[in-house]
Amino acid sequence: MTGSHPPSYENYPPPTADRPIADEPGTGGSSGWTPTPAPSGGSLQPGSGPQSSRRTVLTAAGLVVAGVVAVTIFANNAGEPDEPDPMESSIDDPDDPDERIYDLDGYQVVADSDWQVRSSTPHRLVLANGPSLVTFLAYQAGQDAAALDEARQQLKRYAAEARTFKQVSDNSEESDDLETAELIGTGTVDGKPVDVVSSVRIAYSDDYQALAVVSVVLKSMTVAARQAKQMREDFLDQLG
């Protein structure tokens, strides 16, 4: 037939059954792939078997958990401020966390944290440190008042628990505007020796405004005695 090409035929491989298997005895042909020999039945090398792989997975998981816990603890502690060292605190520092400030009719009482409030009113504050007591007063004394007389009166009212009281000294100082008096004695509370101090300051130019402090402190409590003295001085110095 003019212009037509002779029919072409594609060459297909023979059926599988007719193809030679590689390396089969008696055949020289090769199919192009080589079977991989199965592993021998010998013992596994250490660290190469399934148990080793399982231990590796468990170890990795443990490390991940430990890392998460460590990160969580670090994150929780990152925002927490360091605790202040109590040895760095100073009782003379007004910002000292060991000190507390109480308002008494516009005047401040700065006390160490060892002292707790026993009772309080707008004009009176009583602090206690064990059996030791310090009473602070702010009041109007009146035109005829004398500081030493006021000190005796306040001692009778706020040191009544001191038995066998014995006065040791008294003194007073007067200026144009201020009069200050202090009475010192000893006694006992529940059979234990105590020091008693009653101090009063009156400001004549301030409508006879008076501040008073009465302390009854065990002789054995030397630190409390120093604290009571400091509190007394700081409180009275605000007047005048």
84 in a domain, yes or no?
no
How much is the CA Rg of the chain, to the nearest whole Å? 48
40 in a domain, yes or no?
no
Q: Give me the DSSP letters along 203-235.
A: EGGGTTEEEEEEEEEETT-HHHHHHHHHHHHHH
**Is the distance from CB of 224 to CB of 217 less than 8 angstroms?**
yes
For the segment 74-117, what is each residue's pLDDT rounded down to a tens digit? 445 544 444 443 323 334 445 566 899 999 999 999 999 999 99
25 in a domain, yes or no?
no
Q: How many domains does the chain have?
A: 1
- Structural domain span for residue 211: 100-236
Of 23-37, 106-120, 187-201, the poorest mean pLDDT is in 23-37
Q: Give me the half-sphere count of Cα atoms (radius 13 Å) on the Cβ side of residue 66.
A: 6
193 in a domain, yes or no?
yes
**Is the distance from CB of 237 to CB of 215 less than 8 angstroms?**
no
42 in a domain, yes or no?
no
7 in a domain, yes or no?
no
158 in a domain, yes or no?
yes
- pLDDT exceeds cutoff 90 at 37: no
Q: pTM of the predicted model, to two decimals?
A: 0.61
Q: What is the dihedral of CA 93, 96, 98, 100, to 10 degrees?
A: 80
Cα-based distances in Å from 42 to 38, 46, 179, 182, 200: 12, 12, 109, 104, 104
CA-based nearest residue to 158, from 106, 216, 78? 216
* CATH code: domain of residue 164: 3.40.1000.10
